[in-house]
Structure 1
Amino acid sequence: MKKKLTIEINDLTFKCIIGILDFERIKKQRVIINISFNYQYTKNYFIDYSEVSELVKSIMKNKKFELLEDAILYIEKKLYKLYKINKLSIKISKPDILKDCIVTLSN
């Protein structure tokens, strides 16, 4: 039996190097990532959400992106390549970069 399901990974929070400002290239900052995607669940195929979470954290920590845009595009390409998914939504927030707001970029 096939069933269309949605996985949501909300508020995945960790520190990494991201940004173009001088201090952002030196000191890790907190990021919050939200990911949502659909896939066809069958008895023989499911997606391990903990694997997806760890993959995204690993990408962000190792790639040290300068732009949020580049991070989203890279993660998007990687997830589509590795998993049979559709309707992928990615949102990356930098909650500590500005004093009076949370900066977020999404696809």
Structure 2
Amino acid sequence: MEKISEETIDHIAHLSRLRFEGDAKVAIRQDMDKIIGFMGKLSEIPTDDVEPLIFMSDEVNVLRDDEPEVTITQAEALKNAPKKDSDYFRIAKVLDK
């Protein structure tokens, strides 16, 4: 099993915009070594006769046809709006330019 180098930790930290120093760097290195060790254990399992998993179950989604229909009128939708402007909802400014 290959050990995680300090350069690898620094590179991963830079990519993820994290900073590891002192004990935190030691702890993350130990965690990464455990993860790599676990993945090594998984590679020992014989999977030659195992079909790839495409779906989590054999169940099939039964969906209705997508047919447009009017379920609520525009007036009904705007009826309880705290602020409205003829055909639209009015909301507070969200983004500054």
Q: TM-score, normalised by structure 1?
A: 0.23
Q: Which has the higher helix share?
A: 2
Q: More strand by proportion, 1 or 2?
A: 1
Question: Which of the pair has the greater relative contact order for Cα pairs under 8 Å at 6+ separation?
Answer: 1
Question: TM (normalized to structure 2)?
Answer: 0.25
Q: Please say which structure displays the higher CA radius of gyration.
A: 2
